[in-house]
Amino acid sequence: MTIIVDDAGSGDLLFGVIIGAYREETSEFKYDLIDVKYYQDCFCEKAYLQEASRVTSQLVKRLKVKPDEEIHICQGFIFDVAVVELQKVYGEERVTRVKVTGEAQRLVEIAYLDEIRNLGYEPLAEREAKRAKSFFHMMRWLKANPAMLRYAKTGWPRLKRYRLFGPFHQKGMYSTMCSDCGSPCEVPFKPDADRPVYCQACWKKRKPRRGHTVPQ
């Protein structure tokens, strides 16, 4: 007996990530999701890896893993923590990484497509073969439906370059006093008592030009 675990949606702009567990011999299939919130404000903390581990563990339990049954986990990095945790419970010899294909992959993909269709988005038919085209198709849909941005993986650093996601990547500003002129100013870092800060005008005066040194 073998349980196969795969994911869908981790590389897609819309929605969270679907994780599915499939028992090959009986065709039993269960799935759950990593909420999109893990790909928004807290994305850089990689909390989604711990959530993927939790979801995977629960799915395996729901399938009532049999004694000595093997658990095959997709090679995707999203399962890096999950594999380690499962191996602690079931043993390294029973939990292995594999390239998932066939029915397990198909069912997880269908579950993801159903979820994004529930948002009102119709995916491209060839999205698997043309990932870049699918990304921009989703982005154009979000631009036309800005209220749906709450279902987008807005925490991805690569989205900084797109105006649509600008508000989600603005750094917090801190109020302080310029160390040169004493005028109030704002800086994109938390001021340190041991580190001088400058307003924009004073910084321009002090900023070294090529071939010059900063005045002391």
- Domain range for 98 is 2-165
Is residue 150 domain-shared with residue 180, that is, in the same domain? Answer: no
For residue 148, how far is the Cα from the chain centroid? 17
Is residue 85 domain-shared with residue 145, that is, in the same domain? Answer: yes
Q: What is the CATH number of the domain that holds 32?
A: 3.30.420
- What CA–CA distances, in Å, run from 35 to 16, 50, 186? 5, 12, 35
CA distance 78 to 75: 8
Is residue 150 domain-shared with residue 198, that is, in the same domain? Answer: no
pLDDT in tens, 194-207: 778 877 778 777 65
Is residue 98 domain-shared with residue 179, that is, in the same domain? Answer: no
Is residue 160 domain-shared with residue 83, that is, in the same domain? Answer: yes
CA distance 154 to 43: 9
CA distance 60 to 6: 12
Is residue 28 domain-shared with residue 45, that is, in the same domain? Answer: yes
Is the pLDDT higher at 185 or at 68? 68
Residue 215 covered by a domain: no
Q: What is the layout of strands, in order, in the sheet containing 17-23? A: 28-34, 17-23, 2-8, 70-74, 95-98
Is residue 120 domain-shared with residue 153, that is, in the same domain? Answer: yes
Is residue 113 domain-shared with residue 16, that is, in the same domain? Answer: yes
Residue 58 covered by a domain: yes
pLDDT in tens, 107-154: 999 999 999 999 999 999 887 778 889 999 999 999 999 889 999 998
The DSSP letter of residue 39 is: G
Residue 69 covered by a domain: yes
Share of the chain above pLDDT 70, in %: 89
Counted domains in the chain: 2
pLDDT in tens, 12-44: 999 999 999 999 899 999 999 999 999 987 677
In sequence order, the 6+-apart residues with CB closer than 8 A to the CB of 144 are none
